[in-house]
Chains A and B, each alone.
Chain A
């Protein structure tokens, strides 16, 4: 098999070998149900508690403010629906570029009588805190804005938005799935009440995630059953997964800052290389306030999926900004919200780098992008350019 380069870390990551090692005993000898009173259960409980403490320590919060879930999507549902269920009615402010886990949750709440305002973003994909302020209503009970967008990587001014929420006594929910373990999060300084994070974006396993819930935040449970997670989220805990998440967080705490600068330099090398070799390209997202490993690049007049296929055939994994399914091409709603013209939005390709990415990988990608794009452009009708 030829060279393989994975540049889709915003989609998922390989589980760190140390994480796998930490998890393994929890599939066999330490398999008990952490709710059981016997030794088997107590041992599993110990693993659960240690992971909770590690994650709480990383976020500088209390262990009882961490709730484990099955994924980032559940964490967002848990947070937003939980805040809404505790009120029963009222108004939520969110942005147009949230992950579907937030957008569709809010849309569902609209059908149940809640009101939602979707604030816009500027050309760099950033929310304007003043627009959030202007959107406040007397019945606004929650603001939900992501920390960073997965497609373009733009970091949101969560500190400013959090200050607005706090000033008005409104709960602030932040989807931090793309930033947790990658960039600093200070829930106190940012005024965050509920924060969603996930395991498989940070070299942990899939199917495990969590939420931080500030003590005293008014929330109602949306999943009913046993008394797990202090009656906030029913269901036997995914102990092995949670242990893995705990270990992954520990590794991130140690490595994230060094890795962020290394990965940001490689990301800039990718953009510089492509810019130098391929005409008619643009970088989407904020030039500086951006996830260290994310580069969303548009190739004007080329359809992004054909570039993704061309790169896939060279062993390179990236993701397309537009998706062509069942005969309808949808440009990314994020790029549309940013006002990226259609001819550019249709040709957007996201590369997201991570801990395994090397300079050689980047150079290999740059070498391969140029002929693919040139060939695709040469087969294009003039009118489509």
Chain B
């Protein structure tokens, strides 16, 4: 098997897949030239991520990356998430083959976008960072 046991487990049993009602931040990313896309929804309390949901379309590693990342971000500061690196997502999967690195890229991109959305809402007087 060219994929790690962690990746396979996330692919077979994705955590936090699905929609979220009234999220504090939403972000999506699509990989150029590749149909893969991911969308993340964030629940934020006092600047920290308390809950996340994702939807994704793509090959197995993309689904697994989204699932692994959804666990990775719980409890993190939104501001910190806005700078999430693809490498961190890849590490959470115990690595990706060279031709599947984009799975981590698209997931990290979607999470960064969701974090920026949450920060923007907060700056406009939303609830993301406060309450």
Q: How far is the CB of A134 from chain B (nearest CB, A)?
A: 35
With A and B bound together, what is the CA distance between A376 and B56 in angstroms? 9
A324 at the B interface (CB under 8 A): yes
A305 partner residues in chain B, CB cutoff 8 A: 59-60
**Interface pair B59/A381, CB less than 8 Å apart:** no
Cα distance A375–B63 when bound, in Å? 11
State which of A325, A379, A382 has its C-beta within 8 Å of the C-beta of B17.
A379
A313-B8, A381-B37 known; A327 vs B31 contact (CB < 8 Å): yes
Query: Which listed residue, B14, B33, B60, B66, touches A329 by the CB 8 Å rule?
Result: B33
Sorted nearest first, the 8 A-B pairs with minimum C-beta distance are A309-B60, A384-B57, A381-B55, A327-B102, A328-B33, A305-B59, A379-B17, A329-B34
**Residues of chain A whose beta carbon lies under 8 Å from any beta carbon of chain B:** 301, 303, 305-306, 309-310, 313, 324-329, 346, 375-376, 378-382, 384
Interface centre among B8, B35, B56, B101 (most CB of A within 10 A): B35
In Å, the complex CA distance between A193 and B35 comes to 43
- Chain A residues whose CB sits within 8 angstroms of the CB of B35 once the complex forms: 303, 324, 329, 346, 384
Chain B residues within 8 Å of A301, by CB: 57
Interface string of B63-102 (1 = CB under 8 A from A): 1001000000000000000000000000000000011111
Min C-beta distance of B36 to chain A, whole Å: 7
Which among A324, A326, A329 has the greatest number of chain B C-beta atoms within 10 A?
A324
Q: A306-B62, A327-B99 are in contact. List 9 more A-B contacts (CB 8 A).
A: A313-B12, A326-B99, A327-B102, A328-B33, A328-B34, A379-B18, A380-B55, A381-B39, A382-B55
Q: Which residues of the other chain, B, contact A328 by a CB distance below 8 angstroms? A: 33-34
Select the residue from B12, B14, B33, B58 with max chain A CB neighbours within 10 A.
Answer: B58
Q: A-contacting residues of B (Cβ < 8 Å)? A: 3, 8, 11-12, 14, 17-18, 28, 31-37, 39, 54-60, 62-63, 66, 98-102, 105
Q: How far is the CA of A326 from the CA of B59 in the complex (A)?
A: 12
- Is B17's CB under 8 angstroms from A384's CB? no
Determine which residue in A327, A375, A376 has the highest number of CB atoms from chain B within 10 A of its CB, and name it. A327
For residue B35, which residue of chain A has the nearest CB?
A329
Contact in complex: B11, A309 (CB < 8 Å): yes
Main secondary structure of the interface of B (DSSP, over half): mixed
Q: Which chain B residues lie closer than 8 Å to A380 at the CB level?
A: 55-57
How long is the Cα–Cα vector from A256 to B100 in the complex, in angstroms?
A: 40
Given contacts A379-B63, A381-B56, contact A325 B99 (CB under 8 A): yes
Contact across chains for B28 and A381 when beta carbons are under 8 A apart: yes
In the complex, A310 Cα to B101 Cα: how many Å? Answer: 19
A-B contacts, 7 listed (Cβ < 8 Å) = A309-B60, A327-B33, A327-B102, A329-B33, A376-B63, A379-B14, A384-B35
CB-defined contacts of B56 to chain A, threshold 8 Å: 379-381
In whole angstroms, how far apart are the Cα atoms of A160 and B80 in the complex? Answer: 67
CA distance A301 to B37 in the complex (A): 12
Q: Does A303 contact B37, Cβ atoms closer than 8 Å?
A: no
Q: Are A303 and B55 CB-contacts (below 8 A) given A313-B8, A327-B32?
A: no
- Give CA–CA (A305, B10) in the complex, Å: 16
Q: Are A379 and B55 in contact (CB under 8 A)?
A: yes
CA–CA, A379 to B35, complex, Å? 15
Contacts of A379 on B, CB cut-off 8 Å?
14, 17-18, 54-56, 63, 66
Expressed in whole angstroms, the minimum distance between the Cβ of B15 and any Cβ of chain A is 11
User: Is A324 within 8 A of B11, CB to CB?
Assistant: no
Please tell me if the beta carbons of A306 and B63 are within 8 angstroms of each other in the complex: yes
CB distance from B12 to the nearest CB of A (A): 6
Residue of B nearest to A306 (CB): B60
Q: Specify which chain B residues have a CB less than 8 angstroms from the CB of A375 in the assembled complex.
A: 14
Residues of A contacting B36 in the complex (Cβ-Cβ under 8 angstroms): 303, 324, 329
Residues of the B chain whose Cβ atoms lie less than 8 Å from the Cβ of A325: 99
Residues of B within 8 A of A378 (CB): 17-18
Q: With a CB–CB cut-off of 8 A, which chain A residues contact B98?
A: 326
A328 CB, min distance to chain B CBs, angstroms: 4
Shortest distance between the CB of A316 and any CB in chain B (Å)? 14
Residue of A nearest to B39 (CB): A381
Which A residues are in CB contact (< 8 Å) with B54? 379
Which residue on A lies nearest to B12, using beta carbons?
A: A313
Known contacts A310-B60, A313-B8, A381-B39; is-contact A327 B34 (Cβ 8 Å) = yes
Give complex CA distance A75, B66 in Å.
45
* Smallest beta-carbon distance B99→chain A, Å: 5
- Least Cβ–Cβ distance between A190 and chain B, in angstroms: 40
Cβ–Cβ contact A381 & B57, under 8 A: yes
The residue on B at minimum CB distance from A325 is B99
B79–chain A nearest beta-carbon distance, Å: 26
**Cβ of A306 to closest chain B Cβ, rounded Å:** 5
- When C-beta atoms are compared, the residue in chain B nearest to A327 turns out to be B102
* Bound-complex Cα distance A303 to B100 (A): 14
